[in-house]
């Protein structure tokens, strides 16, 4: 179904192989040997496709689907059409994602070392590392095994990049230590000196920024995002954190593990964000705050205070989300005629 100009299907795979990737069980060995050619949504899947049923809203699509195999929660198994191989899991979407990765693994922007790349003699490249045309690799840079640097990207002196990383075209990285399996999209700028000035009436004096950016494993960073290096302490991005496009991370910010930041989020200097926190698009967090683990912040919020672990906040200035909704309702009521009003 995909456009073959852009995507290469690495299948087919047997149901057994796909079940193994996801840790699910195959009902029987006949089913396990069945060949699956592609992934597809329930309504478009054919007998050679694997699909998933995750949202009860689509139960009718599930019951009428022609998919050859399907990830589904046990409680819905009875509603499956005849002949569909059921792979039972409590997280069908996650299982789908894992098998879709088998069919369509993430494409590296480069293979091999381009003769048109500019690589310093003191740089070290791991086995199978790739550097595309026009990329510039500085002195003493270390790039791990199987990592790939995109066209016209610029990796400055001393940067360390782990194994199996993908650095997109036209990105720049300096003053940074990067873990394994990190994906950095295009036009990302990491490691520039942050916005640090001793401000004054007669001019703002630049304060040297002497820290680094330290990025863990399995991090993904969207196009156009900027991450400033620390002032002396480091800016830190924890394992498994996912950052969308056009996000700004200030100096000394510490993002925990598996944090999610949506587009246009701005995190001001020295703020710490706990593990698993999720911050909606266009929200801003002021500097020197502590946002607890698992916190959820609504889109466009303006966070001016610490937030305890597990809380949900919204609004500007941000407050607990239920209170914020109550305020929205109360404001709407202000302009409605009401009995007993003194106006």
Query: Active-site positions?
Result: 251
Q: Which residues pair with 303 in a beta bridge?
A: 285
Enumerate residues 81-110 that contact its own copies by CB under 8 A. 91, 93-94, 96-98, 100-101, 103-104, 106, 109
| Closest CB to its own copies among residues 30, 210 | 210
Of 84 and 265, which CB lies nearer to its own copies in the complex structure? 265
**Nearest distance in Å: CB 308, its own copies:** 19
Q: Is 303 helix (H, G, I), strand (E, B) or coil?
A: strand
> Is the separation of the CB atoms in 34 and 11 below 8 Å?
no
* 79 belongs to the binding site for its own copies (CB under 8 A): no
Q: Is 151 in the site for its own copies (CB under 8 A)?
A: yes
* CB 28, min distance to its own copies, A: 27
Could you tell me the sign of the dihedral formed by the alpha carbons of 109, 113, 117, 123, in that order? positive
Q: Is 37 in the site for its own copies (CB under 8 A)?
A: no
CA-based nearest residue to 309, from 320, 290, 298, 293:
293
List binders of its own copies among 155-194 (CB under 8 A). Answer: 156-158, 168-170, 172, 174-175, 183, 185-187, 189, 192-193
Contact flag: residue 3 with its own copies (CB under 8 A) = yes
Residue 56 touches its own copies, criterion: CB under 8 A = no
Report the alpha-carbon distance of residue 166 to residue 205 in Å, rounded: 37
Q: Does 318 bind its own copies (CB under 8 A)?
A: no
Residue 317 sits in the site that holds its own copies (CB under 8 A): yes
How far is residue 28's CA from residue 86's CA, in Å, rounded to a whole number?
A: 10
CB contact at 8 A, 229 and 246: no
The count of chain residues that interact with its own copies, using the rule CB under 8 A, is: 110
Sequence-distant (≥ 6) Cβ neighbours of residue 310 within 8 angstroms: 292, 293, 294, 295
By the rule CB under 8 A, 326 interacts with its own copies = yes
Check: CB of residue 45 under 8 Å from CB of residue 62: no
Kindly identify the residues of this chain, within the stretch 204-263, that bind its own copies according to CB under 8 A. Answer: 204-208, 210-212, 218, 220, 222-224, 226, 228, 232, 240, 242, 244-246, 248, 250, 258, 260, 262-263
Q: What is the Cα–Cα distance from 146 to 135, expressed in whole angstroms?
A: 16
Nearer residue to its own copies within complex by CB, 27 or 232: 232
């Amino acid at each position: 179904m995909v456009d073959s100009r852009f995507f290469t299907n690495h299948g087919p795979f047997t149901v057994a192989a796909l079940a193994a990737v996801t840790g699910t069980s195959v009902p029987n060995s006949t089913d396990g040997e069945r060949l699956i050619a592609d992934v597809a949504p329930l309504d478009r899947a054919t007998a050679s496709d694997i699909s998933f049923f995750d949202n009860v809203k689509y139960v009718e699509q599930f019951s009428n689907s022609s998919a050859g195999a399907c990830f589904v929660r046990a409680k819905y198994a009875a509603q499956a059409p005849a002949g569909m191989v059921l792979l039972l899991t409590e997280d069908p979407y996650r299982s789908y994602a894992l098998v879709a990765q088998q069919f369509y693994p993430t494409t590296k922007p480069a293979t091999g070392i381009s003769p048109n790349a500019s690589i310093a003699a003191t740089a070290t490249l791991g086995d199978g590392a790739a550097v595309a045309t026009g990329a510039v690799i500085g002195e003493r840079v270390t790039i791990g095994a199987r990592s790939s640097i995109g066209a016209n990207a610029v990796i400055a002196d001393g940067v360390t990049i782990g194994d199996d990383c993908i650095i997109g075209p036209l990105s720049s990285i300096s003053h940074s230590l990067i873990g394994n399996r990190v994906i950095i999209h295009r036009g990302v700028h990491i490691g520039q000196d942050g916005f640090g000035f001793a401000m004054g009436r007669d001019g703002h004096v630049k304060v040297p920024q002497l820290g680094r950016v330290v990025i863990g494993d399995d991090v993904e960073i969207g196009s156009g995002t900027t991450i400033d290096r620390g002032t002396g302490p480091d800016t830190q991005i924890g394992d498994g954190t996912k950052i969308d496009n056009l996000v700004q991370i200030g100096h000394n910010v510490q993002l925990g593990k598996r944090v999610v930041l949506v587009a246009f989020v701005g995190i001001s200097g020295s703020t710490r964000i706990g593990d698993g926190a999720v911050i909606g698009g266009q929200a801003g967090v002021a500097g020197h705050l502590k946002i607890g683990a698992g916190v959820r912040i609504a889109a466009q919020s303006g966070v001016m205070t610490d937030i305890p672990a597990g809380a949900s906040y919204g609004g500007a200035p941000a407050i607990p989300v239920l209170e914020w909704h109550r305020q929205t309702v109360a404001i709407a009521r202000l302009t409605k005629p009401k009995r007993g009003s003194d106006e």
